[in-house]
Amino acid sequence: MAAERHGRRAGHDYTIEEVRIDQLHTDVYQRILNMDKVNKLAANWDPLAVGFLIVSRRPNGDLYVVDGQHRAAAALRFGHVTMEAQVFEGLSLQQEAKLRIATNDRKSEVIWERFKARLVAEDPVAEGIRDVIESVGGNIRLTSFSGRDSFVALAAAEKLYNVDGNGDHLSRVMAIVVGAFGKPTSDNAPGTVLYSVSHLVLVHPEVDDERLTEKLSGIGIMLMNQRALHFRGIYTGSRIVNWYRAAVEAYNYKLGAARRLQYKTPRARTFGHPDELTEADVANEVEEDSENVESEDENGDDNAAD
């Protein structure tokens, strides 16, 4: 097909072309096609609001959708045969994934979908988080059916990873949590627990990790959650703050006064953006927006639904 216009996006040149929808492919960095979303787009089809697909032409001539697979499927259902696309050539799989990340910041994309693309793009932070979780026996299953045997608290993991920028803090927290409760899963290592343990070890430099692990293990995750809920009923505050309170109590049990941890009230502010988070931020800003905390606990860190 003849190219009509040219442009440049995210450091790569493209041409505007009319592409056949039935000849488009998808690759591993893509999200799972959601037919409810496709049907909704088709039912409310507006050609003026569709925009361009972003497509990569591979060396063998095959066309792969970088962004816009739901729009393409809806257009096909609506009766269209072709769509206009920004067509890039000569991209590697890694470059396609990076382009997808650079051009796709919709809130409807849940965190594991974006994390999957970041791994394909060889993003060092995403790879570092994966390595830490796998080093403690965890499994990040990047599908919508992760189940209860997988680690899903990716938002929390990224914030903890960026406390020091090299993953050492995340590794320390995961070692404590896994040592206490076993394989990191949605039940044993949710965001609430990671944030709480992170806060505890940052504001209490005197803490003995081995003792903390032993005391949490002796209580178990279910009873720790119950204690945190009990404290929340007494003191109010977020789940994170009260889980931290329960962890301090567990640590101090039968410990001499000189070695006990003194509860330190976190400031009632939200965590900063992962890229801006510092050690002081995590230590002082353990309160997280209540809506996000609820979403992490109940939906595996996915803060939006496609």
Percent of the chain exceeding pLDDT 70 equals 81
Output the CATH code of domain 5-103: 3.90.1530.10
Find all residues with CB under 8 Å of 20, minimum gap 6, and list them: 81, 82
Q: CA separation (Å) from 171 to 81, 130, 133?
A: 50, 11, 8
Interaxial angle between packed helices 154-161 and 111-120, expressed in degrees from 0 to 180 and rounded to the nearest 10: 50
Residue 112 to residue 93: CA distance in whole angstroms: 19
pLDDT (0 to 100) of residue 206: 94
Residue 240 to residue 262: CA distance in whole angstroms: 17
Averaged pLDDT for residues 204-214: 96
pLDDT 10s digits, 166-192 = 999 999 999 999 999 999 999 999 999
pLDDT 10s digits, 33-83 = 778 888 888 888 887 778 889 999 999 999 999 888 889 888 888 889 999
Find all residues with CB under 8 Å of 288, minimum gap 6, and list them: 195, 238, 240, 270, 271
pLDDT grade for 196, boundaries at 50, 70 and 90: very high
Q: CA separation (Å) from 24 to 9, 30, 66?
A: 20, 13, 10
Q: Are the CB atoms for 303 and 110 separated by under 8 Å? A: yes
pLDDT (0 to 100) of residue 30: 77
pLDDT (0 to 100) of residue 131: 95
pTM of the model: 0.64
Domain with CATH 3.90.1530.10 in the chain: 5-103
Tokens of 129: 């988080």
Beta strands 12-20 and 24-25 are unpaired
